[in-house]
């Protein structure tokens, strides 16, 4: 993951650029420019370019990149003044290292046409969304065991639960909205609320590779989000668990039922007064599997069909592109809300004498008041297309020397 470099380390690296005259790369319209730092003064940087940069304007942002002992570091500056090949900019707020993208991104060349088409199944539903909008992909076993007889599936699930729990409840958020603390924290996180024993507290860590449970810290963060003061967090959490104990509950589990980025419901189960063993990770794993099978069965039975979005080309505004991915923007809308990390897109990149067809996966997104921005990684692009795209957008032949600018997988 990219790391922001600030304050002391940032100042150190800027001085290194000055003292060691490390070349800094800027790419625009297939042209490489090499800059060096001539002076640092009063939060400004004085650059010298190997030649005047075409189309330069006041307040234009320049995305710059340099190699320091094998580490590729990027930063963005705002142009304050320029004359010939001399440029003065504001000092950047931060520098980024440990980059996840493989190639330097540049503004999309004006003679390159890029079209994006949503591919795969896509839904816009009224169910609550997981806050971080992580797409949930059902495991293959869920698809294999999914049933078009929901009543039979629920009966099988309930039969298994009765061997391990004193009671249980299945809730689907069709006509009801999350209202209790447990419902809200499960929906917000998309994770299971797992309380092995009401004589203890919530788990302190999540042992799953793909994080699945609400830890003590995550629950406390939820409390902070609801307005609980930091000094009262331990007290409120202890009271939350104590109320369950007073109600006779000795062990409890809330498992979300997830479909893509939506929490369509949950399965709750509990043990009364230690009449049965407390829930363990084996019970948790089985309930996750039940949840996935139930979710996929709901899909098979058409529960989400009315919210299905047809695959179609859409006019996203391509902001920049590299050989490994692109960044595009789309106006805030129900369609934009439905695009989430994990979604796969078909991409057509059309140059004057060649068209590249490839896939791209949304890996990150953010938004401002008017638009959402989607960072995408190209998937399985053919080697000959990679070479062509590199030479087309950077305006030079790909050589071994360019390998120093490869920095990761995205």
> Torsion angle of alpha carbons 222, 224, 227, 232, nearest 10°?
120
CB atoms under 10 Å from CB of 156, counted, come to 15
pLDDT of residue 104: 57
Output phi, psi for 229, to 5 deg. Answer: -70, 150
Smallest CA-to-CA distance from 325 within 352, 365, 370, 354 is with 365
Are 114 and 313 a contacting pair, CB within 8 Å?
no
CB burial of 290-322 (b: ≥16 within 10 Å; e: otherwise) equals: bbbbbbbbbbeeebbeeeeeeeeeeebebbbbb
Strand partners, 375: 327, 364
Q: What is the mean pLDDT of each run of 10 residues along the chain (410 residues)?
A: 69 91 83 90 93 90 82 86 94 74 62 76 82 54 64 88 93 89 94 95 89 93 91 95 95 93 93 87 92 88 82 70 83 75 84 88 81 85 84 72 44
Domains of the chain with CATH codes: 3-99 (2.30.110.10), 113-122+309-405 (2.40.10.220), 140-306 (3.30.450.40)
Smallest CA-to-CA distance from 178 within 194, 189, 167 is with 189
Are 193 and 330 a contacting pair, CB within 8 Å?
no
Sheet-wide strand order for 344-350:
106-107, 317-321, 325-331, 371-379, 355-367, 344-350, 113-119, 313-314
pTM of the model: 0.60
Structure tokens at 334: 């129900």
pLDDT of residue 1: 44
Euclidean distance between CA atoms 219 and 221, whole angstroms: 5
Euclidean distance between CA atoms 198 and 202, whole angstroms: 9
Give the number of C-alpha atoms closer than 13 A to the C-alpha of residue 331, restricted to the C-beta side.
Answer: 3
The Cα-based distances of 133 to 154, 310, 396 in angstroms read 27, 20, 39
Q: What is the DSSP letter of 101?
A: -
What lies within 8 Å, CB to CB, of 339 at 6+ separation is: 118, 122, 330, 362, 365, 372, 374
Q: Which parts of 168-232 fold into alpha helices (H)? A: 181-189, 216-225
pLDDT (tens digit, 9 = 90+) per residue, 337-389? 777 777 888 888 888 888 999 988 888 887 777 888 888 888 888 888 888 88
CB atoms under 10 Å from CB of 344, counted, come to 15
pLDDT (tens digit, 9 = 90+) per residue, 50-85? 999 988 999 988 888 888 876 778 888 999 999 999
């Amino acid at each position: 993951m990219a790391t922001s470099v600030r304050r002391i380390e940032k100042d150190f690296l800027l001085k290194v650029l000055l003292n060691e005259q490390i070349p800094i790369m800027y790419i625009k319209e297939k042209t490489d420019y090499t800059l060096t730092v001539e002076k640092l003064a009063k939060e400004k940087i004085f650059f010298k370019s190997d030649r005047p940069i075409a189309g330069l304007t006041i307040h234009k942002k320049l995305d710059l990149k340099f190699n320091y002992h094998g580490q590729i570091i990027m930063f963005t500056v705002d142009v304050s003044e320029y004359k010939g090949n001399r440029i003065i900019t504001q000092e950047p707020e931060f520098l980024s290292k440990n980059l996840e993208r493989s190639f330097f991104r540049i503004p999309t060349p004006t003679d390159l046409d890029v079209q994006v088409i949503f591919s795969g199944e896509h839904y816009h539903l009224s169910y609550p969304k997981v806050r971080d909008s992580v797409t949930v992909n059902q495991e293959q076993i869920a698809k294999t065991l999914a049933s078009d007889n929901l009543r039979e599936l629920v009966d099988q699930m309930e039969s298994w639960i009765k061997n391990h729990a004193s009671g249980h409840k299945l809730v689907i958020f069709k006509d009801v909205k999350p209202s209790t603390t447990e419902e809200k924290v499960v929906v917000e996180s998309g994770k299971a609320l797992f309380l092995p024993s009401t004589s203890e507290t919530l788990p302190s860590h999540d042992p799953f590779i793909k994080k699945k449970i609400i830890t003590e810290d995550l629950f406390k963060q939820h409390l902070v989000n609801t307005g609980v003061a930091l000094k009262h967090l331990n007290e409120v959490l202890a009271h939350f668990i104590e109320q369950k104990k007073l109600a006779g509950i000795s062990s409890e589990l809330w498992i979300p039922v997830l479909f893509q980025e939506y929490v369509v419901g949950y399965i709750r189960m509990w043990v009364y007064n230690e009449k049965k063993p407390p829930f363990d990770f084996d019970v948790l794993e089985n309930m996750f599997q039940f949840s996935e099978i139930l979710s996929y069965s709901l899909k098979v039975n058409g529960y989400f069909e009315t919210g299905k979005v047809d695959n179609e080309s859409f006019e996203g505004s391509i902001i920049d592109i590299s050989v490994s991915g692109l960044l595009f923007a789309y106006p805030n809308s129900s369609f934009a809300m439905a695009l989430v990390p994990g979604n796969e897109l078909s991409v057509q990149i059309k140059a004057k004498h060649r068209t590249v067809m490839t896939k791209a996966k949304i890996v990150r997104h953010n938004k401002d008041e008017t638009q959402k921005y989607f960072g995408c990684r190209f998937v399985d692009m053919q080697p000959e297309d990679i070479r062509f795209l590199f030479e087309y957008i950077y305006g030079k032949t790909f050589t071994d020397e360019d390998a120093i600018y490869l920095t990761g997988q995205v």
